[in-house]
Amino acid sequence: MKYFLDPRKVSAAGICCVSHAHSDHMPSSFDGGPLFCSDITLRCLRGRVKSKKSKNYLENVERGDLPSVNASGAGHILGSNMFMIDEGKKVLYTGDFCPQDRLGMEGARPQKCDALIIEATYGNPRYRFPNRNAMMGVIRDWVEDTLNQGCSAVLYSYPLGKSQELTTMLKEFQPRLHGSVLDTTRMMEADDLKFDYLPFDPADDTPQLVISHNTKGENGLSALGKKRTATVSGWCLSGRSWGMDEGFAYSDHADFYEIIDFVKRCSPDQVYMHHGSEEILAKEIRERLGITAVPLKKGQSNLGSYF
Ligand SMILES: [Zn+2]
């Protein structure tokens, strides 16, 4: 059996598993076959694909169900999954992942496996995130202080995942969701998943908390009058704030030390890595853990004896 993990194209040529609907993981075309993904990811895929053919496929898609494929939460964004493929040898694919429980979402749990395919986004020892619970406190305090000073607080974050995390984290401030953040949040919602927010209203200029995607094409944000801005991203660790007043290093990815700990607990014979600092992470895993580790090659579609 062939397995395709976060493939560019979903087809009947193999078992297609999609971890989540961020653009660097989601397929760009859908051409038949069953699909392995969570309900939330399916809703996001339906909302994000462009072509009529792909939309049709996703409206009528058959959901994958095989004893050799076991999905579990990746703790990255709501609905994100890891996949354990068991064809005699166990291969765990993490997609993007975060091991820490937060805001009602369970973090990724390590699982014993023979081979591990892991993300390397922050796979460099220079990346150690501040404690996420402490960062939540820092962000809350900043919002509260800003509103108390009679200014609006505008948080910029990625529309899928981080924005819903901020919406939940800051619900006491009744966040206003702007543009693609509002559209994406509505796309994720269902009877069993609701968020607490108001749509951004350009006619309302009272001091408020706004969550938005980026500074370009502000579409009404200038009506807010006095405002302070902050970006929320793991990349703020390197001191970047993209011209905002503040940058908060809060991430929904594992940092380097969480990756190393996760690999150790999965105790695989072989690790493959993708997305990010692959070469550096491979070297660190070999040196620190004594486990064979190599980056996945671009377009690599099989793991030799594993599958
Ligand atoms: Zn992602």
- Same domain for 137 and 88: no
- Same domain for 82 and 25: yes
Q: Is residue 18 part of a domain?
A: yes
Q: In the chain, what is the straight-line distance between the N-terminal and C-terminal CA atoms, in Å?
A: 8
Distance 150 CA to ligand 1 centre (A): 35
Distance 1 CA to ligand 1 centre (A): 27
- Same domain for 101 and 39: yes
Q: Name the H helices within the chain.
A: 39-48, 52-59, 132-148, 162-169, 179-188, 256-266, 278-289
The CATH number assigned to the domain holding 165 equals 3.40.50.10890
11-61 pLDDT, tens digit each? 999 999 999 999 999 999 998 899 999 999 999 999 999 899 999 999 999
Q: What is the pTM of this model?
A: 0.94
- Same domain for 276 and 241: no
- Same domain for 7 and 123: yes
- Total number of domains in the chain: 2
Average pLDDT for residues 101-111, to the nearest whole number? 96
Distance 203 CA to ligand 1 centre (A): 34
Distance 81 CA to ligand 1 centre (A): 11
- Same domain for 273 and 194: no
Distance 209 CA to ligand 1 centre (A): 25
Around ion ligand 1, residues with a beta carbon closer than 5 Å are 22, 96
Q: Where does the pLDDT of residue 215 fall: very low under 50, low under 70, confident under 90, or very high at 90 and above?
A: low
From 1-10, 68-77, 97-106, 160-169, the region with the lowest mean pLDDT: 1-10
Checking if the pLDDT of 187 tops 80, the result is yes
Mean pLDDT over all residues of the chain? Answer: 93
Boundary of a domain, candidates 231, 248, 265: 248
Range of the domain at 196: 132-248
Checking if the pLDDT of 144 tops 60, the result is yes
- Same domain for 272 and 215: no
Q: Is residue 65 part of a domain?
A: yes
Distance 17 CA to ligand 1 centre (A): 15
Q: What is the pLDDT at residue 216?
A: 60
Question: Which residue's structure tokens are 């924005």?
Answer: 163
Cα(109)–Cα(69) distance, integer angstroms: 16
Q: Is residue 302 part of a domain?
A: no
Q: What is the pLDDT at residue 307?
A: 66
How many distinct helices (H) and strands (E) make up the chain?
7, 17
- Same domain for 207 and 71: no
On whether the CB atoms of residues 57 and 34 are closer than 8 A, the answer is no
